[in-house]
Structure 1
């Protein structure tokens, strides 16, 4: 018997218009993500963070471009605080320690290019 709730497809259908902020929904007390493009050369992931949620400090081997779609977040890069709001973006350089925290519910698109 098929499920009553259809799972969202993992990727983004080609040649179709989509609103990035609508590709992932908020969930109380959680961080939700949806990978929309995954290639050997890089990936694009949409995240939804509930207020107060975040990602603890970590590093990545590649540059990461964070584009805040809506809401507000505190993004720390190498100990320096950056407060971003919907429509703003920041580049997190490879190997730099960074963390994120939702000051209010926020959604972001993360683009990583492997090179």
Structure 2
């Protein structure tokens, strides 16, 4: 299939896992691990140290975040959302957004193109 690209990588297959364990916390850093990247979808796991951020940007697709651990602050189109473990948020395509570590936190990001 044209444009299909790679499927899952950097993740065990046919094995029970905790997504939050796929990426470690590092002092003063945002750490990411890409699990899928193709023309249709991107799946990435992130960890944020307290006070670390990804500055305002926009995405070429709808982005759904799910917090896996801790607490993060998401600013989407000027509106602020604080999410904790198990909570999700959709950040619409082309709407500026930013992410900030209120405390150490981990999240899964799924972008659909």
So what's the TM-score if we normalise by structure 2?
Answer: 0.89
1:103 CA displacement = 0.4
**Which structure features the higher share of strand residues?**
2
Equivalence for 2:69: 70
Comparing 33-42 with 66-75, greater Cα deviation is found at 33-42
Give the Cα separation in 2 of the matches to 1:106 and 1:77. Answer: 18
Q: d(CA) in 2 for partners of 1:79 and 1:62?
A: 18
Q: CA deviation at 1:101?
A: 0.4
Indicate yes or no: 2:45 matched with 1:15. Answer: no
State the secondary structure of the residue aligned to 2:73. Answer: strand
What does the per-residue CA deviation read over 1:33-62, in whole Å, with 9 as the maximum and x for residues that have no partner?
A: 001122331111000000000100000110
Structure with bigger gyration radius: 1
Q: Does 1:24 align with 2:23?
A: yes
Contact kept? 1:12, 1:37, Cα under 8 Å: no
> For residue 6 of structure 1, what is the aligned residue in structure 2?
none
State how many pairs are aligned. 105
Match of 1:4 in 2: none
User: What per-residue deviation string (whole Å, max 9, x for no partner) do you get for residues 41-99 of structure 1?
Assistant: 11110000000001000001100000000101110000001011111000000000000
User: Which residue in 2 is equivalent to 1:44?
Assistant: 43
Determine the structure 2 residue equivalent to 1:3.
none
Q: Distance in 2 between matches of 1:11 and 1:93?
A: 27
